[in-house]
Amino acid sequence: MANSEVVSFQLISIAGDAMGKLFEAMEASKKCEMTQAHALVQEGKALLNDAHNAQTSLLVADANGEKTDVNVLLIHAQDTLMNTVLAETFVNEMIALNDRINQLEAKLEKLGE
């Protein structure tokens, strides 16, 4: 298997795992489990860093004159990584909003007592 295929599968797998962690984090924040949410975001960030390193290996190889075959698999891998990077931004915003909602709901409960 060519190097670009190996890296493509790595990108798809690692970025997919990162996306899963980010979505788990968002769900945890809905349940007021903010410590868990932040821990899951950190796991997702670490995975994204691993995916970025895999992507960088292709860039370095290209800079060294090794031509990379651009095929549908590599395009899909790049798309998966980019979507996960974008999702990270939105998930972080959703977690912040869920945290604010959770705090406001707690204040309303206290007022209702």
Range of the domain at 27: 1-112
Q: Which residues are annotated as a binding site for Mg(2+)?
A: 79
User: In which residue are the tokens 């950190």 written?
Assistant: 42
b/e string for 15-41 if b means 16 or more Cβ within 10 A? bebbbebbebbbebbeebbbeebbebb
97: number of Cβ within 10 Å: 11
Catalytic residue annotation? 76
- Give the pLDDT mean for 12-20: 97
Contacts of 88 (CB under 8 A, 6+ apart): 18, 22, 41, 44, 45, 48
Q: Are 54 and 112 in contact (CB under 8 A)?
A: no
Count: domains in the chain: 1
Distance, in Å, from the CA atom of 108 to the CA atom of 113, rounded to the nearest integer, reads 9
Taking 60 as the threshold, does the pLDDT of residue 2 lie above it? no
pLDDT tens by residue, 44-94: 999 999 999 999 998 898 889 988 888 999 999 999 999 999 999 999 999
Does residue 1 register a pLDDT over 70? no
Q: What percentage of the chain reaches a pLDDT higher than 90?
A: 84
What pLDDT does residue 16 have?
Answer: 97
Longest dimension (CA), the chain: 70
Annotated binding site: 79
CA atoms of 107 and 76, how far apart (whole Å) = 46
Full-model pTM: 0.89
